[in-house]
Chains A and B, each alone.
Chain A
Amino acid sequence: MTSDRALVDAVLSHAPGAFERLVNEYQRLCWHIVYRLVGHPEDAQDLCQETFLRVHRYLYQYRYESALKSWIGQIAYSVALRHLERRRIPLIDSADGELPDLDNIADAFDLESACVNEDLHRQVDEALEELPPLQRMLLTLYHVDELSVSEIARVTGLAEGTIKSHLYRTRLRLRSMLNSDSPDNLKRTNP
């Protein structure tokens, strides 16, 4: 928070290079939020730009009530959300069906083989890309940016329970896909 304050003060006093430093600091998070929601690199780049121009314009309104990261994340989220609304792209899959039955998911799995299996990598990458925008973004913020559930809640305005539920369901579905779609050589062969 102290470094946030110093950076914000520097930007507000128009210190040379301060805003560029701020953008450098938070562009990765902004990109993950926007790109994961929007899914198109060019649109996402424009929206990231819009996000930071808004940050620059309204930074004087930032009151240190949350981390700067969360505040910028909120702006990125709302900018991307408005874009999706304009394009009428649903944030979540309305036909979010039943969860796979835990008892029917086979457990046998060889991690070492899986880690060198390019086919499986491709399948999982494709499955990740095909996730609904919100789930794709939540997974990235939680796994890649290492934001806690409460930090994600501050960025998105969603309840913590809702975020946990999305993470749980997404990971469970991906896990069930591993076993149903993966080649036989991924499943541990018992001697």
Chain B
Amino acid sequence: MNTDEQEWRAQERALSVERKGDRPVSATDRERQYQYLARRIAQQPVPTLPTDFARHVARLAEASRGAMDTAELRFQWRLIGAAVAAMLMSAVLISASFGIQWLSFVYTDNPWLRACVMCVAISEALKHWQRTRPGQNVQVSLTSYDKLRRDEDG
């Protein structure tokens, strides 16, 4: 650093004295000059952010999160749709090329197919039970944040 060490120390001492609010003021004239500058820098009138800035930004962030979630959900559904379409097209192509003998696994005794059907059935039964068990059929309450926002808006 291209500095005069003594000068730098005077700058730092003056800043420290000013921050502590010590009396008497800095010892040398040079330090008094730096102390005055430190005071002026701290007291310089500067515009500030609006008082409701934090609330405004929080609302914007919440809104943009909602929009992002919707966009992501839409993208996921498009991907699922594309995958299902690709599978159906493959099935049609295979049927056209090799006949429908490959479908015999549906009506023959296939243990993997049975396991798969059981998994789906259990999963659906659990979902049904969760929906219908006591206390779960009431409408989901709003989060306190939503309530807060509604209170503010209303």
Contact indicator A48/B148 (Cβ below 8 Å):
no
Which one of A67-75, A86-94, A168-176 contacts B?
A168-176
The stretch of A1-9, A12-20, A76-84, A150-158 that contacts the partner chain: A12-20
Given A27-B49, A111-B35, A49 contacting B11 (CB threshold 8 A): no
Q: How far is the CA of A111 from the CA of B29 in the complex (A)?
A: 8
What is the chain B residue whose CB lies nearest that of A167?
Answer: B11
The answer on a CB contact under 8 Å between A125 and B40 is yes
Find out whether the CB atom of A19 lies under 8 angstroms from the CB atom of B33: no
Contact B144 A16 (CB under 8 A): yes
Beta-carbon contact of A124 and B144 below 8 Å:
no
Judge whether B61 is part of the interface by a CB distance below 8 angstroms.
yes
- A183 close to B (CB within 8 Å): no
Q: How large is the interface on A (under 10, 10 to 19, 20 to 34, 35 or more residues)?
A: 35 or more
Q: Report chain B residues within 8 Å CB of A53.
A: 57, 60-61, 64
Alpha-carbon distance between A125 and B57 when the two chains are bound, in angstroms: 31
| Contact call A165/B2, Cβ cutoff below 8 A | yes
In the complex, which residues 116-134 of chain A have their Cβ closer than 8 Å to any Cβ of chain B? 121, 124-125, 128
Contacts of A20 in B (CB 8 A): 54-55, 57-58
11 A–B contacts, CB within 8 A, in A order: A16-B143, A20-B57, A23-B54, A31-B48, A115-B39, A128-B40, A139-B41, A161-B1, A171-B11, A172-B7, A179-B33
- Nearest 3 CB-CB pairs, A to B? A16-B145, A23-B54, A20-B58
Which B residues form the contact surface with A (CB < 8 A)?
A: 1-4, 7-8, 11, 15, 19, 25-26, 28-30, 32-42, 44-50, 53-58, 60-62, 64-65, 143-145, 148
